[in-house]
Structure 1
Amino acid sequence: MNIPLSHEDALLRDTVREFFDKEVIPHEEMVDRFGEVPEEIGRDIEAKARALGLYAANLPERVGGGNLSHTQMALIEREFGRTSHALHSWIARPTELLLACQGDQVDKYLMPCVSGEKRELFALTEPEAGSDAMGMRTNARPDGDDWILNGSKHFISAPTMADFAIVFAVTGTDETKRGPRKRITAFLVDRDLPGVVFREGNRCVSNRGYKTYELIFDNVRLGPGQVLGEEGRGFELAGQWLGMARIWVGATCCGKAERLLELATDWSANRKQFGKPIGTFQATGFRLADMSIGLRTADLLVFDAVRRADAGEMRDEDAAMVKVYCSEVLHKIADDTVQIYGGMGLMEELPVQRLWRDSRIERIWDGTSEIQRHIITRSILRPLGA
């Protein structure tokens, strides 16, 4: 990475990389082959990460978190990208949405996630509401002071079964200048409540071992203390998290791209054809040059966005630009690395094919490339009234 860092930030990056080299990377091939992280390995990573201070590093000091800046978190997320998602996700970064907890919610939900006693799910996506999040059908109707929740969620990802979910549901309709709009509310829903089902869902070829879950709600009774934030303000609450989440995806893409570029460079320097290293041929050497340019540009875009975030000036389109550009640069670097390796790039004995598969999902989750371009286009045209 060619971004100037302070001594403190460089030490943070090096500490995280050393931890991953020792505790995570040695397990990658096994996890990918069997599609599962053994519980004992996951818990060991979790415990060692807590001891190192990596657990809940994204949350403020007042709740027991690591209190890192957005710039420092980007360095950590970039290192996460170099490693197996299924393994590094055991180092929890609880969603900042939990900072909206109030009263008894703090001790029941927020603090246990900071300490590692509990894990949460962010449950927004549904079978009929992916990119069109406002198309969600999960709903909660009032019943006295309580709410009755019905519906389902899918593609809800986590390293292991969670204790509760932040569930977004329709609780009414508001009239706006653009017409009727669903009113969305966030609820804290415990896994063991009557009528709640958490179960493993589809298995993905990207990030094998990182699980997706299906959540089903059948007349689930929720008390008033299970509303997170304000009724009807769930979408605004989700928006506070989604922007930074997209930047973290961009940072992890840069980390994965760097690892791929290292593999491609080493192969190009040592693999010989026609009596010469293949990197000396323009067809290969120019690929390396373009990969390097793309990675440098992606890093600059990420660090511009996080510095804006630290200054309180980050906009939706900033996050969208990071997400779409970094994920597509990673796709190109992964594909070029396979091409440089030739047939060996697709062999299970080497990590290239795994990194190539893992790179594909980055253009889909946390908002597809098409959605990011829509956000950017809207930011360009709306000031002109279009």
Structure 2
Amino acid sequence: MDFSLTDEQRLIVDTTRAFVENELYPHELEVERTGVLRPDLVEELKAKALEAGLYAANIPEEAGGAGLDTVTWLLYERELGRASYALHWTCVARPSNILMAGTDAQKEKYLYPCVRGEKADALAMTEPGAGSDLRGMATTAVRDGDDWVINGTKHFISHAEEADFCIVFAATGEEDGPRGKRKKMTAFFVDKGHPGFAIRPGYRNVAHRGYPNAILEFDDCRVPSDAVLGEVDKGFDVANNWLGATRLQVAATCLGRAERAMEHSVEWAATRKQFNQPIGKFQGISFKLADMATEMKAAELMTLEAAWKFDQGTVTDSDMAMAKLKATEMLAMVADEAIQIHGGMGLMDELPLERIWRDARLERIWEGTSEIQRHIISRALLRPLGG
């Protein structure tokens, strides 16, 4: 098995790393201390990302994106993940791949403007009473003539306030399942400012400053039939077909942040002196570094193997769940140990470690909690034996 990078992959990694260090790092402290990502800064960095060819790298070439294979895309995501989430996600946007499921007219209206940096999207699934259990969602869409009428509430919706439109999932009926009735879902495009659609400020949280969440309210929100994304009642199929690799995206960004924390830790251990010698000479510190490096290597290999299998068409839900589980829990461990190695200095915002430590907590929750990932993995092991 060849683990080396191609010349093209090295170029993408180097270009992305340079952009992150030169264009994003300098603004991290401002975003962390103010909790705000200035709109003028977004436009400035977006223009630079577009010029550098780093925008919409996850979208196929035929749609105007970079058309990266999954392995190369995740190498790129790992480099972006080294920076503040608000900066790398908002200013170097990767439009949701689910937009590829749209009709030609929908692509003209939504996908292509996102690729060009003219519009931004937000994905609305989670509700106050439906997180991991998406079929428990209470938001409904009822057909009324040629229209659909949407009612309900979504929350924890990332960057909805900055988005020009949302892709909203709603219950549109029921079907018989192995455990009785279950809801059928449909995805809809809903433009910002559409009658009956309101965006409210979300919850204050400890992680990802400058990258707010929002609450979406739908009150008899009437949309036309051509607002349906994919097929009616096939929302789960649309999501499964186009959103599968998002768990690998989370894993890749975790690798980037862990690498940054590790670099700070190694440098500190080699230069910080106590008792007349570098603290890295003490096993209490050196063994931490060894454990951190081992966990990082394991997470990297699992993530890139899953990406390779994704490109071969052989990846399983279990492969992606393992990668997401390992990488997110690895980041939590590495971030915590990095702060321990730095002592009190690790908690000061002069270094990025306290931000990495805070932000790491969310990774084990969104895109499927660690418990959901373990359920997916264990189900794949037990089902063939009737368990």
Q: What range is the shorter-chain TM-score in?
A: over 0.9
Aligned partners of 1:159 and 1:209 also within 8 Å: no
2:20 corresponds to 1:20: yes
2:367 corresponds to 1:361: no
Q: Show the 5 A alignment for 1:339-378.
A: 339-378=340-379
Distance 2:161 2:214 in 1: 9
Distance 1:223 1:262 in 2: 52
Which residue pairs with 2:80 in the alignment?
80
Which residue pairs with 2:265 in the alignment?
264
SS of 2:252 mapped into structure 1: helix
Aligned partners of 2:184 and 2:234 also within 8 Å: yes
Which residue pairs with 2:187 in the alignment?
186
Q: Show the 5 A alignment for 1:120-199.
A: 120-158=121-159, 161-199=162-200
2:339 corresponds to 1:331: no
Q: Show the 5 A alignment for 1:41-52.
A: 41-52=41-52
2:35 corresponds to 1:35: yes
Q: How many residues align?
A: 385
For residue 128 of structure 2, what is the amino acid of its counterpart?
A: P
Runs ≥4 in structure 1, deviation > 3 angstroms?
none
Cα distance 1:242–1:372, how it changes in 2: closer, same or farther (>3 A)? farther
SS of 1:313 mapped into structure 2: coil
Aligned partners of 1:83 and 1:256 also within 8 Å: yes
SS of 1:243 mapped into structure 2: coil
SS of 1:206 mapped into structure 2: coil
Which residue pairs with 2:318 in the alignment?
317
SS of 2:67 mapped into structure 1: coil
Residue deviations 1:48-96, cap 9 Å, x none?
A: 1111111111111111111111011001110011111100112111111
Which residue pairs with 1:228 in the alignment?
229
Q: Show the 5 A alignment for 1:56-135.
A: 56-89=56-89, 90-135=91-136
Distance 2:349 2:111 in 1: 41
Q: Which moved more, 1:123-132 or 1:345-354?
A: 345-354
For residue 161 of structure 1, what is the amino acid of its counterpart?
A: E
RMSD: 1.3
Unaligned runs of 5+ in 2: none
- TM-score, normalization: structure 2? 0.97
Distance 2:303 2:161 in 1: 29
Percent identity between matched residues is 50
Distance 1:350 1:189 in 2: 40
Q: Show the 5 A alignment for 1:193-208.
A: 193-208=194-209
- Aligned-residue offset at 1:109: 1.3
- TM-score, normalization: structure 1? 0.97
Q: Which moved more, 1:45-54 or 1:287-296?
A: 45-54
Which residue pairs with 1:300 in the alignment?
301
Residue deviations 1:24-67, cap 9 Å, x none?
A: 00100110010011111111111111111111111111111111
Which residue pairs with 1:239 in the alignment?
240
2:382 corresponds to 1:384: no
